[in-house]
Amino acid sequence: MESNMNKKQKKVLIRIIAASVTMILFAFIPVEGWLEFVLFMIPYLIIGYDILLKAFKGIKNKQVFDENFLMAVATVGAIALGDYKEGVAVMLFYQIGELFQSYAVGRSRRNISELMDIRPDYANIERDGKLERVDPDEVGIGSVIVVQPGEKVPIDGVIIEGSTTLNTSALTGESVPREAKAGDDVISGCINMTGVLKIKTTKEFGESTVSRILDLVENSSSKKSRSENFISKFARYYTPAVCYGALALAILPPVVSMFLGFDAMWGEWIYRALTFLVISCPCALVISIPLSFFAGIGGASNAGVLVKGSNYLETLSKTKYVVFDKTGTLTQGVFEVVGVHHSKLEEARILEYAALAESFSSHPISKSLQRAYGKEIDQSRVTDVKEISGEGVTAVVDGVSVAAGNTKLMKRLGIEYSDCHSVGTIVHMAVNGRYEGHILIADREKPNSKEAIAQLYRMGIKETVMLTGDTGKVADQVAGDLGISTVYSELLPGDKVAKVEELLSKKHSKEALAFVGDGINDAPVLSRADIGIAMGALGSDAAIEAADIVLMDDDPLKIAKAIKIAKKCLRIVYENIYFAIGVKIVCLILGALGIANMWVAIFADVGVMVIAVINAIRALFVKKL
């Protein structure tokens, strides 16, 4: 523990040890009166001088009611009553608790900074044939930087030379490496594993992905949840209330006793009032609640889930409805050839004809055919290309006439074709005027989409909804495959906002609706939902701005993980609130009745704080689903 402490914490630890040793030594010296007072003032001032100074400054600045004031009054009062050992012990245990809390907060901050260890220290620029290290802030847009194996990519850009394997675990929470080559976009924060890369920067360092992510995590504490705001207000009213309560406890019972002709017992009632003050210190609540949220946000960051503030974590924990965009969220958003049907020719041959005929087109369908062919395309083999808008392409490939298109093209050419009952885009193929079958192209579902929906239902989600601009036939098949309960198809972007508004009006006020989109064209809906989750949105400015939570890869399982993290964090927050307030109320009653002494008071303050802080740090650790 000591090796991880900062200088300030080490000084406090030395003071604690010195005060403990001197207090124990003086406890065995048989002295009384002024000499005993002088001896015990030595450990008291060693351990408590900074608390007394802070209390004095608080009074001077008219900010009286804080924990320093409570501790100063309680311990000075105990010493004034002749309870020297208890006065020193209260201050000593309070400082032990404060040291523990400071260490715990520092440790959780360190863990988060280690988990988010993506800030690059430098960028390499080639000058006169030599690599020169410069501050990433000094690199302008369009500059060429060199990233060597083992180094972090410092700024977003495009690879212009080299190929490599990238480790994205610090960003996505996943350890699966990603292949990258010339022409690929690359985002800052990844670690270059193998080859030397030359990257042309597309953003300044301040606007790059790594800076935006770090900024989000560092500023997340500014957006406080209702629980945190409640605790802040509670402490503001609670501290003065207990101070006045303690004053009343010290004065009223003796005055009433004197009035009724009984012994006033001033010392007894002042001691009870001082015990009441020590018990009432709200440290456990004031420290552990923000720490719970801070740890929850850190744990989420480690799992590849960026949460912009504890208020969003709180809302996410109440989610009962999850609305999905389809393309790019539940499906891969990349069209692929999934089959060749009714073809008398070999599958490879029909794909070759289709890819060559479509080789002059930049349409996504054409691109998917070229990818499925998988070989270098020699366009010199293709002549007489005619693209018929909305129908397809005719061309001559190796001297053979080829037609690739939809049913309209086949009807235009007078070629009989076979219907396809599968869901997807159909490319009918004719070679030399004879029908040769059709190619089925579809947007594949993501491998984890089905499991993600099942996980959400297991976690108590009431309804999952899918919104898409696709046809009803495609949408219904995807929704059926994945187990989604409600689907709305053939929607324009504006219709999606209207549907979310409609769903919001139906839900209970204490329930939350989350919208999950790919973050580029879903910004209006992300903003309108109770909680907007942008998926796979690294590098997308629209997503980072509009969403409340950003998933750092495109795995749908992360949605269930994010909700699980939020629920665990809120459970810890409420455990700490109920535990701290419950123990304090019991001990305050016992203190007022004279049953609890200063030692019980120390447990009620320091002990509860230590337990609450240990509990809060659990939010940092996230189990795998």
Catalytic residue ranges: 325
- Angle at CA of residue 548, ends 542 and 549, nearest 5°: 95
How far is the C-alpha of 75 from the C-alpha of 605, rounded, in Å? 14
Query: What is the DSSP-derived secondary structure letter of residue 606?
Result: I
Cα 3 to the chain's mean position, in Å?
29
Residues 6+ apart with CB under 8 A from 541: none
Q: Residue 319 corresponds to which tokens in the numbers above? A: 């989610």
Q: What is the 3 state secondary structure string of 15-72? A: HHHHHHHHHHHHHCCCCCHHHHHHHHHHHHHHHHHHHHHHHHHHHHCCCCCCHHHHHH
Hey, is 173 helix, strand or coil?
coil
How far is the C-alpha of 378 from the C-alpha of 400, rounded, in Å? 15
CB 136 within 8 A of CB 122: yes
CB 321 within 8 A of CB 463: yes
Hey, is 259 helix, strand or coil?
helix
Backbone phi and psi for residue 168, each to the nearest 5 degrees, phi listed first: -105, 15
CB 412 within 8 A of CB 322: no
Backbone phi and psi for residue 434, each to the nearest 5 degrees, phi listed first: -115, 135
- Closest by CA to 443, choosing from 411, 478, 401, is 478
Place of tokens 């070679």: 431
Query: What is the DSSP-derived secondary structure letter of residue 358?
Result: T
Residue type, 588: L
How far is the C-alpha of 413 from the C-alpha of 65, rounded, in Å? 89
> N- to C-terminal Cα distance for the chain?
31
Q: How far is CA 408 from CA 226, 391, 429, 454, in A?
A: 59, 6, 12, 41
Q: Which H or E run contains 493?
A: helix 493-506
Burial class (CB in 10 A: 0-12, 13-18, 19+), 349: middle
- Closest by CA to 331, choosing from 505, 87, 492, 517, is 517
Cα 220 to the chain's mean position, in Å?
9
Residue type, 555: D
Neighbours of 266 (CB within 10 A): 16
What b/e string do you get for 510-548 counting C-beta neighbours within 10 Å, with b at 16 or more?
A: eebbbbbbbbeebbbbbebbbbbbbbbbbbbebbbebbb
CB 65 within 8 A of CB 243: yes
